Structure 1
C-alpha cells in the first residue's frame, strides 16, 4: 500500500470533520449541508466531481474544514484524504456528502452542470503507478461521462 499524504494540521490549524460540524450546526438550528455549500460552494461541488471520478466512498469522518485553533474560525475545506475505498468498480455508489439521497454520479452531474470543469487533462496524465489498467480506464470513462454533459 502506497501512502502519499501531507500533514495539513498543526498546533495552529485543526481538522473539523463534517461529522463534528453537523453536531455544531444542530446546536444552532443550521442545516450543515447548506452551511457547507455557503463556506465554499465551488469546492463543495468539486469534491462531488472528484468522488465520482475516483468512485470514492467518502463519509462524514473523512472530509471537513480547517479551523484556526486560537479563534475557532473555519478557514475553508481541508484537503481530500482517506481514499482507501477509491477506484472500486461498483455502480450506483451513494453520495455521503449530499443531503438528498443521490448517487455519486448524480451529485457529480449536478456539480458539473454548475461548474463546467475541463476534465480533459485526465486523458493527458500518465496512469498512476498504483492503479491497474482496469481502474485507470474506469477513472477516464467516468470523467468522459461528465465531459458529455
Structure 2
C-alpha cells in the first residue's frame, strides 16, 4: 500500500513524498541540504531516484554500521540488523528521522502531530538508555516512549560509543572508547584552546567506572549544523563551488582547522565531522561550526608531514602543507602558552607537537 510521508522543518511542511517516488516540494529553500528530489509524474528514472535519495537521507539519520555496540543498540530496540539504506531508512522512520543535529523530521501524511510534541530538545527521557549506547548493555525496551527517547542516541554519527546525557534540561555528549583515545581528545582540546578558534571544549569525566570525554551540545531549535559531506550534495545539485563558498563565508575558521589538526595530529577530519552552522529561521548557512571531534589526535605523529589533509580537494596536500598555507594567510593566532604538564607520560607526543609548532612559527 502506498504511504505518503511529509518532510518537516520544525512545524513547516517542506515537501511530501510517497513510496512510489512521487513528490511535491512546498519550500525549496527549506529542503534538507543533502536531499534532492524532483517533481515528476511519469519519468521512471526520476521516481526511482527520488525513492533512492529519500531512503539514503533517512538512512544517514541513524548511527553508522561501524558504531561500537551497534548490535546491542538494535537488539535492545527489537529491530533487525540493518545493512542497506532501505533497512536503515525503515528504522529511522520509526523514530520520525529525528535528530539533535537539526530540526528536520518526518511524519505520515495527515498525521496530526506537531514538532513541539516530538522534538528531542524538549521530549527526552531518562538517561538509562545511555547504558546501551555507551557500554553495550542489553536492555529489553518495550515501552514506546522509551523507544522514542532512544532517537537522540541512534541519530548521532561516529564509530565510537557515545550517548547524549541530559543534565538540568541541557544535553551533553559522552564519548567513550579506549582510555588513550579519551585522554587524547581531552588533551587535544586543551591544546586547541590556546589558539583563537571557535571550538567544542572536551573535559574528562567518569561514567559507570570508565573514562569518557564530555562536551556541550552546540545545536538548538534555532540553530542547526550541516556537515561538509551533506553540503557537497547540495553544492553539486546547485552547481556551487563548495570551496569558494567556504572561503567566502568563513575562511578564518577553515584555515585554523587545518593549522590545529596538523599541530595535534588529528587524522580523522573527514567530511562528516566538520561543517556549518545553519540559521533555522531562514535555513541559511552562517559560518563554519566550532571545531570538534579530537579523539583521533596524536596519530601520524611519527613523521613531520602528518597524513593527507582531508579538508582540501583534490587530496594533494599533506597536513603540514595545508597548515603552512593557512599560516601564511591568517597567521598562527596563538593566545596562550602550552602547559608541558598536560603531556605527562607523553614525551614523544610533546616533542613532536613542539617541532610542528616551531615549523609554523617560522612562517609567520
Q: CA deviation at 1:137?
A: 2.3
Aligned-residue RMSD, C-alpha: 2.0
The structure richer in strand per residue is: 2
Distance across 1 between alignment mates of 2:341 and 2:310: 27
Distance across 2 between alignment mates of 1:109 and 1:127: 27
Structure 1 position 109 matched with structure 2 position 329: no
Compared with structure 1, are the counterparts of its residues 78 and 131 closer, same or farther at alpha carbon in structure 2 (3 Å cutoff)? farther
Distance across 1 between alignment mates of 2:222 and 2:345: 35
Q: What secondary structure is seen at the aligned counterpart in 1 of 2:226?
A: strand
Distance across 2 between alignment mates of 1:7 and 1:127: 28
Q: CA deviation at 1:59?
A: 0.4
Q: 1:69 aligns with which of 262, 277, 280?
A: 280
Corresponding position of 2:246: 36
Distance across 1 between alignment mates of 2:238 and 2:345: 43
> Which aligned runs of 4 or more in structure 1 are off by greater than 4 angstroms?
none
Corresponding position of 1:24: 234
Q: CA deviation at 1:69?
A: 1.8
Q: What secondary structure is seen at the aligned counterpart in 1 of 2:248?
A: helix
Distance across 2 between alignment mates of 1:42 and 1:14: 20
Which of structures 1 and 2 has the bigger CA Rg? 2
Compared with structure 1, are the counterparts of its residues 44 and 131 closer, same or farther at alpha carbon in structure 2 (3 Å cutoff)? farther
Q: CA deviation at 1:130?
A: 8.2
Q: CA deviation at 1:126?
A: 4.4
Compared with structure 1, are the counterparts of its residues 14 and 127 closer, same or farther at alpha carbon in structure 2 (3 Å cutoff)? farther
Q: 1:84 aligns with which of 267, 273, 295?
A: 295
Q: TM-score when scaled to structure 2? A: 0.38
Q: What secondary structure is seen at the aligned counterpart in 2 of 1:5?
A: strand
Deviations 1:58-102 (A, max 9, x none): 000000011112211112111111112111214340001011310
Distance across 2 between alignment mates of 1:107 and 1:86: 17
More deviation, 11-20/67-76: 67-76
Q: Name the count of aligned residue pairs.
A: 148
Distance across 2 between alignment mates of 1:135 and 1:12: 40
Distance across 1 between alignment mates of 2:313 and 2:297: 21
Q: CA deviation at 1:144?
A: 1.1
Is contact 2:343-2:349 (8 Å) kept? no
Unaligned runs of 5+ residues in structure 2 are 1-181, 183-203, 205-212
Corresponding position of 1:50: 260
Q: CA deviation at 1:118?
A: 4.5
Compared with structure 1, are the counterparts of its residues 127 and 29 closer, same or farther at alpha carbon in structure 2 (3 Å cutoff)? farther
Corresponding position of 2:222: 12
Distance across 1 between alignment mates of 2:221 and 2:335: 39
Q: TM-score when scaled to structure 1? A: 0.88
Corresponding position of 1:132: 346
Unaligned runs of 5+ residues in structure 1 are none
Distance across 2 between alignment mates of 1:116 and 1:21: 28
1 or 2 for the larger relative contact order (CA 8 Å, sep ≥6)?
1
